[in-house]
Chain A
Amino acid sequence: NAGVTQTPKFQVLKTGQSMTLQCAQDMNHEYMSWYRQDPGMGLRLIHYSVGAGITDQGEVPNGYNVSRSTTEDFPLRLLSAAPSQTSVYFCASSYVRDRGNEQYFGPGTRLTVT
């Protein structure tokens, strides 16, 4: 198993550009989520999905879109990048409906918006 993979590892965007952060998992996990990590603020939930075709907003969803057409993939789209979106982005997955299931995290994408 590759676990949770994220691409790219690093990205620099100009303000107003759009891009998609890719996330895939091969563990057949129903639950997938995106977090952003900013200094001094821990990880904050952006969007999550409890299965293919189902997505919902987390704590900080503005400026981001997601879709879940397959169990394996959960891309995060930045529609018009802003400097405030400079952050490290983590994708995670787990089995759903069991509070004891740990979330498996991808290696992260470091995004800089200039």
Chain B
Amino acid sequence: AQKITQTQPGMFVQEKEAVTLDCTYDTSDQSYGLFWYKQPSSGEMIFLIYQGSYDEQNATEGRYSLNFQKARKSANLVISASQLGDSAMYFCAMREIDFGNEKLTFGTGTRLTIIP
């Protein structure tokens, strides 16, 4: 079974609109971390936001927020007021510690295109 599922291979959004990128995850751990990374066409991986499994508040970082619904095992990224520079691949990832070993598992990504 996929640990991280991103069901939207591609999205087109009008500039200035808000956009939600979906992410669901699968783990039996009680303690884990969820991350979102952005990968522009230049190829580097840029950290956006983090949510811990015990965090009661949804994480926010500027225009990014993470809609964390623990019971549904979802961790959707919300970008408010989208900009042309937001066009990129977006990856959801989960960090687990399994028998003392750390693992970060990525989803397959969503390609977001912002339309002027």
Contact = CB atoms under 8 A, between A and B. Distances in A.
A43 interface: yes
A107 to B, nearest CB: 6
A90 B102 contact: no
12 contacts: A41-B108, A42-B107, A43-B106, A92-B104, A97-B102, A99-B33, A99-B95, A100-B33, A100-B50, A102-B50, A103-B47, A104-B47
A108 B50 CA distance: 22
Nearest to A41: B108
A107 B104 contact: no
**Interface residue range, chain A:** 20 to 34
A50 B50 contact: no
A109 to B, nearest CB: 10
Interface in A69-114: 88, 90, 92, 96-97, 99-100, 102-105, 107-108
A107 B44 contact: yes
Given A99-B52, A99-B95, A105-B44, A42 B109 contact: yes
A97 to B, nearest CB: 8
B104 A45 contact: yes
Given A44-B106, A56-B101, A107 B43 contact: yes
Q: Mostly helix, strand, loop or mixed at chain B's interface? A: strand
Interface in A18-76: 31, 33, 35, 40-45, 48, 50, 56, 58-59
Interface in B21-70: 31-33, 35, 37, 43-45, 47, 50, 52-53
A24 B37 CA distance: 21
Interface of A: 31, 33, 35, 40-45, 48, 50, 56, 58-59, 88, 90, 92, 96-97, 99-100, 102-105, 107-108
Contact of A42 (B32, B103, B108): B108
Nearest to B91: A42
Contacts of B53: 99
Given A100-B33, A107-B44, 14 more contacts: A42-B106, A43-B91, A43-B93, A44-B106, A48-B103, A50-B101, A99-B33, A102-B35, A102-B47, A103-B35, A103-B47, A105-B45, A107-B43, A108-B43
